[in-house]
Structure 1
Amino acid sequence: MGAVLVFVGLAVGFFVHAYAIVAYMVSATSGLPDEEQGLATGLTTMSMQIAITLGIPVISAAISARTAALEKTGSETDAVLGGVRAGVLVDALFLLAAAAIVWLFLARKARTGKGAL
């Protein structure tokens, strides 16, 4: 049963991230003149690669730390599931922080009618 729950969670996470990437690219490149599309796409792709490079070790560290802490008090299965829950929580917190930052910049752009930076 645990493997089914992990599979379902991974599948849902995949689809949410896949749709978010498309929305991210559309938001980053919409409304720009044609001569700036390539630059915007390159910067957007670079920021995604940096996030992946930094995110995987951070989430892995959260999973490892929580799993190690729970192994001392419970079963190995419970420890691993607790570690995965901690990793998902860290990922969700990063996503919420990123969404808040994007919202703030878009709200500023809408108020001023100019670029956010």
Structure 2
Amino acid sequence: MTRTYLFATFALTLAPISLHAQEGVMRMCAERDPPEICTCATERLQAELSPDDFALYDRIGTDYMNRKESGESMTEAWDAAVAGAGSRISVTNTFGRAHRDAINECSG
């Protein structure tokens, strides 16, 4: 009984982290697509990218969306978010293409 309780507590503790870890990816998708497509695409992208690459893309996505919501243009927001994460546009554009592919696959 104690093991089951500990496992359940552990799983519930990780759930918000998992959802938060997808915030940027989901927000970028949700600009144009419905939640069910974004959930599917996020799961596909997470399976395709390494955990480190997905986390980087997600952090950049969160920063990018925050910057856009603060009034920056798409280009300014993306460039600043990428630079702020210490990455390169060529790398993150590869992630973006994979994300768009996943969205298209999930759209049917």
TM-score (norm 1): 0.35
Give 1 or 2 for the bigger CA radius of gyration.
Answer: 1
Normalized per residue, which structure has more helix?
A: 1
Q: Which has the higher contact order (CA 8 A, sep 6+)?
A: 2
TM-score by length of 2: 0.37
